[in-house]
Amino acid sequence: MNIKRAFVSVHDKSRLEKIAGYLVSNGVEIVATDHTAEYLIDHGVEAIKVADYTGFPSIFDGRLKAIHPKIIGGILAIQDLPAHIEEMREHSILPFDMIVMNLKPFESAVKESPDESNLSKEIDVSGPALLMAGAKNHRDIVVISDPTDYDEVIESLEDCGDVPLLKRRRYALKAIYAALLYNSSIHRALSQIFASEKYDYTVMEHVMQLLYGDNPSQRAYLLKLSQKPGLLDEVQIGNPSVGLKKSQLRNMNVFMELYYYSDNISVFLDKGKIVKVCSGRLPECTSDGGPDTMFASTFAIDGDTLKKLHESGIEAFGGVFDRDAIRAARERDIMILTAPAHEAVSLSEETYSGFGNYFVREHTFKLKNYELEIDDKLALYCSRINRANSFSIFRDGESLLLLSGLSYGEMMNYDFTKHDLRESVMACDNDLTDELIKKLVAAGVKRVILPGTKRTYSHRNVLVLGVDFTRLNN
């Protein structure tokens, strides 16, 4: 094995004894920081503490430990360069071949005590420096910052006694990224304390390339805010070779938000807008298909349903699928996106929306779990999730009319008499005039759910929530 000496310092100790035990059993000498060394020794894995290895004690209340020539020099030295070999010999520096390191999330220090003195004390200087040193010298050093890579590293060492350069490069990039995230979280926390306007240091991860953006001529990539949960985190692409469009991502994101509120739904979507909903497997009157349409359901979509709807023009599918549906999707090159179990669906604490190169960050609005009948709930949820100035009308667990993105004039002057709305329930994200409410009641609407934040109502058919739930975009 080409690995002879490893430096280990980890906050997340999950599965550490597995890789460390493997290394020691193959003759690798492990040098570790105090807590990590004690953990390894307690678990029967030999390790040398940094102070014992360097002959230099930890000083300044632990601020200076691992930044020592025998540690960082052994990481930075190019092992086949004669000048570096001579300097290592001259200064009694031995080379390291591997670093296993992950950092304590700085956010946890902020939660524990967000005052300046505590945060300054919590800043790890040596950790990011050693990660960057290992990444800089990745041809000689295997730098492992992600515990999920331990098994792959062991497999490589078993196969050839070393870690191939291609993997070393990937691990080096991960280490640089880990250091970047750590430093950005420090910058964010201290900037808020120091009242700096440059406090929001946001890092985005590349997730995948999309088939195209708004138009086929536009290249597009899916990015995600680092370390922030999202509705699409647990969604699986069932047929990746087909390619994923921006419009279908919007459709799936909207479906997942509706799924968060209600776990018994079937939905037709078009360009991120809900166009048809029912509380059963499939509405009696299905929606027209088109280039950017999707059918998504929390009930298992079978092969016959998938084929029938695809033939009618539905482009993509989301939710839960049986084996026949998955097989049909692969045979016909149909995009399917699999949703997780309901308990795995959650809304993030913050939401970002963008226009051009600008983003708006705001706290996520979450509707309360109102004790309402199914029609009332679905109407309310659709009015919240669809774009602002929306009407959502339901009867017997199925949508009769879903309108969104209207101007205020269009809302006030809409002709509801052309629809059969008898015994239906309507929700609107905007407060309405008495005249329009009378029109709705005359058209057969038995209950109107409104925010009630801009005016009061005396009409018995109006249910006021007392909270704004409008949405500028989805």
Pick from 53-62, 167-176, 190-199 the range whose average pLDDT is largest. Answer: 167-176
* Secondary-structure percent of the chain, ordered helix, strand, coil, rounded to 5: 40, 25, 40
CATH entry 3.40.140.20 includes domain 229-344: yes
- What's residue 99's pLDDT? 97
Which CATH code for domain 351-464? Answer: 3.40.140.20
Closest CA to 265 of 309, 301, 296: 296
- What's residue 420's pLDDT? 92
**CATH 3.40.140.20 boundaries in the chain:** 229-344, 351-464
Question: For 186-197, what is the mean pLDDT?
Answer: 79
> Whole-model pTM?
0.76
More confident residue, 63 or 174: 174
The rounded mean pLDDT for the chain is 90
**Residue ranges in 216-366 assigned as alpha helix (H):** 246-261, 303-311, 323-332
Three-state secondary structure call for residue 343: helix
The pLDDT tens digits of the residues spanning 366-421 come to 998 889 999 999 999 999 999 888 999 999 999 999 999 999 889 888 999 889 99
219, 212 contact by CB (below 8 A): yes
- What's residue 204's pLDDT? 80
Closest CA to 381 of 340, 427, 424, 347: 427
405, 292 contact by CB (below 8 A): no
Residue 149 has pLDDT above 80, yes or no: yes
Residue 287 has pLDDT above 70, yes or no: no
- What's residue 117's pLDDT? 80
- What's residue 233's pLDDT? 85
Residue 171 has pLDDT above 90, yes or no: yes
Three-state secondary structure call for residue 278: strand
Residue 198 has pLDDT above 70, yes or no: no
The pLDDT tens digits of the residues spanning 98-114 come to 999 999 988 888 887 87
Closest CA to 373 of 328, 424, 409: 424
Quick one: which H or E segment has residue 321?
strand 314-321
Q: pLDDT grade, residue 470 (50/70/90)? A: confident
The pLDDT tens digits of the residues spanning 63-109 come to 888 889 999 999 999 999 999 999 999 999 999 999 999 999 888 88
- What's residue 270's pLDDT? 94
Q: In sequence order, what are the beta bridge partners of 426?
A: 393, 448
- What's residue 199's pLDDT? 63
CATH entry 3.40.50.1380 includes domain 5-193: yes
The pLDDT tens digits of the residues spanning 4-59 come to 999 999 999 999 999 999 999 999 999 999 999 999 999 999 999 999 999 998 88
Q: Residue 173 contacts by C-beta under 8 Å, 6 or more apart in sequence?
A: 135
- What's residue 38's pLDDT? 95
